[in-house]
Structure 1
Amino acid sequence: MTGKPYKTRWKGSALALAIAVGITGVVTAALHARVSAEQSASLRAPMPVEQTAFIEQQDFQREQKFLGLVQAASRSQVGFEVPGAIAEVFVREGQAVEAGAALAKLDTQTLEARRRAAASAVDQASAELELASARRVRQAPLAESGAISAQLFDDTRLAEKAVESALAAAQARLDSLEIDLEKSVLRAPYAARIGRQLLDRGAVTQPGAPVFTLTSLENREAHIGVAVEQARYLTVGKNYPLQWRDRSLSAPLVAVRSDVNPVSMTTVAIFSLPGDVDAFDGEPVSVSVPRTEPETGGWLPLSALIEGERGIWTVLALRERDGNTVALREVVEVLHVSGDRAFVRGSVRDGDRLIADGVHRIAPGTAVAPLEAPGLENAVAHQES
C-alpha cells in the first residue's frame, strides 16, 4: 500500500524534468540562432551607393519663363477707297498672296460711263482750244496793224485762256475717274495671308469699310509679357532662347515697350522670329530669361533628396566612423528646382559627399560602400583650392 503512491510521485517528477529539459533546449537553440543571425548581419557587405559632391557657390542662375503670342509684323483690315457693289472676289480665306495681287473688284459700269463722258468733254475742250488758238493767231497781225480794235483782240486772247482752263478741268475729271477705276480693284498692300472675308460678292461697300483682314507673311514677331523688374535686364539686339511648339529658337530682342499693363504689371518684349518659322498669328510662344539669385548653396540631383514632414527635406551625407562609411541625415532647404536638380542650402558643408540615388532604401547610420564617381575628387579638390 505504501509503495504505490511513491511510484506515482516518481513518474510525475520524471515527466516534469523532461519538460524542463526540452524547454531549456528550445530556448538555447533560439538564442544560438539569433546570435548566428546577428553575426551574419554584422559580416554582411555594406550596400553600394552612388555618390555626389556638394559644391557651394555664392549665387545661382535661374530660368524665368514668360508666355506670349506670335504676331505678324503687319496686321490690317483692307477695303475699297471708292463706293460700289462688289462684283468679283479673287481670293479665299487662308490663301497666301503676293504684294499687289488683286483681291476683289467693284462693279465699274457707272464709272466707265462717267469716264467716257469725261473723255468726250476733254475732246470737246481740246477742239474749242484749237479753234480759239487759231482765232488768236489770225487776229494778232490785224491788231498790230490797227485793222481791229484792241478790245476785240483781248476778248479773243482771254477766250483762249478760258478754254485752256476748261480743258484742264475736263482732263482732271477724267484723271479722277481713271484713278477711281484703278481703285475699283482691291489689291494686297504687302505679301500676306488672307484672314477673314468680311463682305461677299454683291455687297455694297462704302469707302474705308473693311472687306478682308490680312496678316503679313514675313517678319513675324513674338510679343511676350515680361515682368517689369526683369525687363530692365533685357538687352536689345541680344539673342534669347524661345520655345515655339516643340522647337527651340534663338531670336533677337527688337524692342521693349515702355507701357506697363496695370493688372499683370508686365511690359511687352518684342522678338524677331527666324524667317523659317511658319507660325500662325496668335500661337503661344515663350521665352526663358536667365536671372542671377544672390543665394549661397549648391546643386544636388533630385534623387538625393528625401521629403519629410511639414515640408522638411533631408539628404544622406557620407561620414567616416570606426573605419566604416556610414550615411547620416542632414537637413536642407530647397531654394530652386531646375529639371532634375535642385539648388539647396542647409547643414551640409562645402565639399561634403552625399548619396546621389536610392536614398529611400537606406536608414541613417547604415554602413555603405560609395561607388567611384569619375571627376568627383577633382571637383572637390578644385573647390577647396
Structure 2
Amino acid sequence: MPKSSPRSLLLAILLALVAVPVLAQQGGERPPQPVTVVTLEARDITLTAALPGRVAASGVAEVRPQVSGIVIERLFEEGKPVKNGAALYQIDAATYEAAKAAAEAGLAQAEAQLRAAQREEERQKELRERNVSSQQVLDDATAARDVAQAAVKVAEAQVLASSIDLERTTIRAPIAGTVGLSQTTQGALVTSGQANALTVICQLDPVYVDVTQSAAEILKWRRSGQQVAEEAGAEVFLRLADGETYEHAGILAAAEPHVNEQTGVIVLRLEFPNPDEFLLPGMYVQVEMPQAVVEGAILAPQEGVTRDRRGRPVAMVVNAENVVETRELTVQRDQGSDWVVTDGLAAGDRIIVEGLQKVSPGMTVAPEERALAMNAATSAD
C-alpha cells in the first residue's frame, strides 16, 4: 500500500475541519411547525333540536247551510281569498220570502187587534168613571188589551225569524281567509245542518305548527340551572321539505298545560307569519326548536376536536408562548359544524384546526389565524 504524502494528509485535515461546521448547521433546530388556529370566544348559545311537525291553518271554518233549499248560484272563485261576510252561495229564497210576507201580515193583524183592544179599554174606563159599567167589564177589557200586546210580540218574533231565514238563503263567509274547493254545485239540494260542508275557509296568515317536546328534556335543563329557551321567547325557525330554511321566524304561541301520560311529551304550538301564503296546511316541516340557553359557552370547530384512547374529546391549543398544549373537553352537543364546549376551553384560546398530525404537546409552532390564512390563499389565487 503506498504511503500518503504529507501534502495529501494536510489536505484531508483541512477538508475535515471545513465539514464540521456544515454538519453542525445541518443538525441544528428546525423552524417552528406552521399550524392554522381559530381564536375562541365565549358567548351565550341557544341549543336547538330538529323536531318534526305539520303546518295547520290558524283558523278553519266549514261552511254549511242554515236553511234548506236549492242552490241556484255559487258566488265565489275557488282557491281565492274571501272577506268576512262575503256571499258564497245563493239558495232559492222564494219560499222564505213568502214566509216573511205571511209573518208581516200576521204582525199587521195583531197590531190592529191591539189598537181595537186599547180603544175598548179606554171606553170602558170612561163608562166606569160614570158608573155606567161594572169593574168586571173594565178588567176584561184590560185583559184583552194585554193579550193583544202579547200577540203583537209573537208576530214580531215570527217576522224576525222569517227575516233571519230569508237572510240565510245567502250563505256568507263566517271568517276571512282562503276558500277551498266547492263540494256542491248549482241545482243541488242542501239541508240545514247537513254533515257535509259546502266548502272550507282557512286563515293562512299566520299559520300554526304543532310539535312535541320531551318533558324529560325540559326537566333536565331546569335541574341543571339552565334557562329554558321556550320561556325566554326565543325565535323559532322552520326547515322545509326541500331542505331550505323558511325566511320568517316564528314564536311559541301556546303550550299544553299537561304532559301526555302515554308518550311523556308536551305539545307546543308555534306561530309563523305567512304573508305570501307559502306555507299550506298539511305541509311537513322541521322546526329548529330551542332547547336551552347555555351562558358563556364556547363554540369549538369540530375539525379541531379529536378523541383520545379512552374516547374523551381533546383539543390542541397554542398558548401565549406558541407552545402546544392538550386540553380535555366537556362537550354538550353539536351545533352545526361546531361543538358546544362548557369546560376545557376559555375565551381567547387558540385551537389548532389544521396541522394536528404534525404537532405534539410541548412543541413550538407558528400559529396563523384561519381567516388570515384563507385570505392569503385567496390573494395567491
The TM-score bracket by the shorter chain reads: 0.5 to 0.7
**Change in CA separation of 1:44 and 1:104 when aligned onto 2, cut-off 3 Å:** same
1:230 to 218, 230, 236: 218
**Change in CA separation of 1:277 and 1:291 when aligned onto 2, cut-off 3 Å:** farther
Answering whether residue 37 of structure 2 is matched by residue 51 of structure 1, we say: yes
Equivalent positions of 1:184-223 (< 5 A) are 184-201=169-186, 202-207=188-193, 209=195, 210-223=197-210
2:134 & 2:350 partners in 1: Cα distance?
Answer: 123
1:303 aligned partner: 303
2:297 & 2:190 partners in 1: Cα distance?
Answer: 71
> 8 Å contact 1:242–1:285 — kept in the other structure?
no
1:65 aligned partner: 50
1:346 & 1:157 partners in 2: Cα distance?
Answer: 95
Q: Deviations over 1:125-165 (max 9, x none)?
A: 22233333334444543444344555555544433433333
Amino acid at match of 1:266: V
TM-score where L is the length of structure 1: 0.65
1:96 & 1:145 partners in 2: Cα distance?
Answer: 74
The alpha-carbon deviation at position 42 of structure 1 amounts to 9.4
Root mean square deviation of aligned Cα: 4.8
Q: Which runs of 5+ in 1 are unaligned?
A: 1-38, 320-324, 377-385
The alpha-carbon deviation at position 178 of structure 1 amounts to 0.9
Amino acid at match of 1:227: S
Q: Deviations over 1:255-287 (max 9, x none)?
A: 321133445432122344347474323442513
The alpha-carbon deviation at position 51 of structure 1 amounts to 3.1
The alpha-carbon deviation at position 352 of structure 1 amounts to 8.0
Equivalent positions of 1:10-89 (< 5 A) are 48-52=34-38, 62-89=47-74
Three-state SS of the structure 2 residue aligned to 1:241 is: coil
The alpha-carbon deviation at position 242 of structure 1 amounts to 1.8
> 8 Å contact 1:238–1:252 — kept in the other structure?
no
Amino acid at match of 2:193: P
1:128 & 1:354 partners in 2: Cα distance?
Answer: 101
The alpha-carbon deviation at position 179 of structure 1 amounts to 1.5
2:113 aligned partner: 128
**Change in CA separation of 1:40 and 1:290 when aligned onto 2, cut-off 3 Å:** farther
**Change in CA separation of 1:206 and 1:43 when aligned onto 2, cut-off 3 Å:** same
1:241 aligned partner: 235
The alpha-carbon deviation at position 43 of structure 1 amounts to 10
The alpha-carbon deviation at position 221 of structure 1 amounts to 3.6
1:159 & 1:94 partners in 2: Cα distance?
Answer: 59
1:102 to 69, 87, 92: 87
Three-state SS of the structure 1 residue aligned to 2:368 is: coil
Amino acid at match of 1:243: F
The alpha-carbon deviation at position 177 of structure 1 amounts to 0.7
1:163 aligned partner: 148
2:40 & 2:139 partners in 1: Cα distance?
Answer: 109
2:340 & 2:131 partners in 1: Cα distance?
Answer: 112
2:253 aligned partner: 254
The alpha-carbon deviation at position 204 of structure 1 amounts to 1.7
Three-state SS of the structure 2 residue aligned to 1:190 is: coil
The alpha-carbon deviation at position 180 of structure 1 amounts to 1.6
Amino acid at match of 2:210: H
Identity of aligned residues (%): 24
1:235 & 1:355 partners in 2: Cα distance?
Answer: 32
**Change in CA separation of 1:113 and 1:62 when aligned onto 2, cut-off 3 Å:** closer
Three-state SS of the structure 2 residue aligned to 1:372 is: strand
TM-score where L is the length of structure 2: 0.65
Three-state SS of the structure 1 residue aligned to 2:354 is: coil
Indicate the larger mover: 132-141 or 300-309. Answer: 300-309
Three-state SS of the structure 1 residue aligned to 2:152 is: helix
1:337 & 1:219 partners in 2: Cα distance?
Answer: 32
The alpha-carbon deviation at position 111 of structure 1 amounts to 1.3
